[in-house]
Structure 1
Amino acid sequence: MVAMQHTSLVTTITRAASAVGALALCVSIAACGSGSPDASSSGSATASANATVPKLEGVKASGTPGEKPKIEFKKGLKIENNSAAVLQEGNGEALKGGDRICAQLTQYSAKSGEEVATTWKDNVPDCSLVYNPDNGVTNIESATLEQIANTTLKGKKLNTTIGIGVNDGSGDDNTYMLIMTPVSQSKDYTKAEGEKVKDVPADLPKVTLDASGKPSIDMNGYKGSDKLVAQTLIKGDGPKIDENTYAAVVNYTGWLLNGKQFDSSWDRGQVFDAVLGNMIKGWQEGLVGQTVGSQVLLVVPPDLGYGDKDNGEIPANSTLVFVVDILAKY
């Protein structure tokens, strides 16, 4: 394996919050179903559709849907853990299953009533959630934030504002609310799509693709490089991966120089969220500057890979060859 385990929406929220000194969010919280469809856009929290999930009480949202809402509640508000509610109905297009949702997030301390962190300030919404309305909460104790959002937003529109209450029982300092407003949605690529690069150096490994876009490779007598090679094979026209990108959503396959495959997300049938800060340096350096929709050939020398450590199917001091399709970013 070349990276850490799949990340979740809560990880990215925690990252955003930590950047301004916020408390880290818990990693397993649950939420209710959607509220009443005729709820007022400036009314109090609507009732939960899921009777097993507590309703977030005592919180109001007002303002223009799609803009940062004004949140009102009494300082010292008692919050039940895993409570949730729709605070403001959206006025955008209906949320579509399978789309990637970009949402603005704000965290409030229940104890002080103050805003702790927000993505609205720099207009950098969290885009780590792929909306799956069928992935609802079945067990409140083990539900994830993705399930919370999917359940609460089911049947809703863009610009809906939801609130989720967190109280881990460790004291008022760790009791807070997460306010979430999905503001845009888009489909991820399923494979690299763009313009095929014509001037790829002839001495590099040769990549061929099947009908689904899955790559295979001919090492072409290639002996490796003592420097990182990041050769774009297909140039996508999506947004650029930069130093501020948290994760790239990818499909990839990795080989040793002898042509032996050691890993492939294609074979697992599941795309991979490559959290750049957790990746080997060859990925961190090689993906920055690439664009969504692109396919990239990475040749990673040992010092930018696993060095002199034996890593299962990857022997010590191995040069690694990857073909990476960049499907989305957040």
Structure 2
Amino acid sequence: MMKNFRKILLILAVVFSALLSFSVYYYMNERSVATKVVEQEYISIVVATESIPPRTKVTKEMLTTIEVADDGFYDAYILNTDEIIGYYTRESILAGEGIRSERIIQNINDELSLKIKDDYRAISITVNKNTGVSDLIKTGDWIDIVLTLPAMTADERTSRPDLSIMFLQNVNVLAVDRNLYRDEMNRIDSPDVYTLTLAVPVKDVEKLVLAENIGELKVALRPLDGDYVYNTGGTIWEELIIDDFDRIKDLFPQYEIIAQQEVTETPVEIQKYIYYTVKYGDTLNSISLAFYGDESRYSLIQTVNRIADEDLIVVGTALKIPVLENTEAGDDGGTEN
């Protein structure tokens, strides 16, 4: 009996010893975990070295990088300066502020002003299905603009006939209505009236505004390839009918048209023309003298350009100056065609 009791005590001692050892191990292990220093990972983010105003082009000098804890808070921040150098800020960024991706304009097509070259301006014209190629023009297309001007009269005499001319050529369409992207143009309902926003050279902006106010504009869609420009010289209404001045006078007696035989004493052979824009102070006599060295040849210029009154020519009008056989036209700023 005594022998069995001792065995039980021995077993209990072993069990308690094992429990005590486990408890000590668990306690020491917990203390080790609690006091262990956790190693933190870091990442670099881009910050501004100075305050950057909105719509400012970002340069290398404006940026630096700092290290921050990689805890998921900085996922939307720019990590590399090369990602934004040369791009524009969408809004203000303060000095020392981390730069988030949404603060930078990374697609220039999102901002119309970033698509315009320095010597161009964005300007809109109003068109309809007739004048705007049936609403088939899309953002990114290239067009020509045809200007039609009504006849101008003074003292019941025609000083400028009805005229249509290829006014501007090779003009880029920046937007149609408010659509800056070409793939946005697949609209189901085509409006009767809409706008085309165009990239127009600075020197032509005022001309386009005036042209839209005093005349009628119609656009012509250009082919995808080719940036060629034609010098058409324009078309007046007489050229649409027949090159017979007597018949024109009979059909349209309200217009004062000078017949060719009335102003040309001897027939001349015209091989080509030079186009000249009338300047302030010009007369047909002075233009004839400049190009032919002879004032008396003004009547030829008058006939070719259907000018009713030799003493009334309009500044800015493009005149056709005939280049005669065996005659060298003077160099007075004309454009040969």
TM-score over 0.5 (shorter chain): no
When you count helix as a share of all residues, which structure comes out higher?
2
Higher relative contact order (CA 8 A, sep 6+): 1
Q: TM-score, normalised by structure 2?
A: 0.25
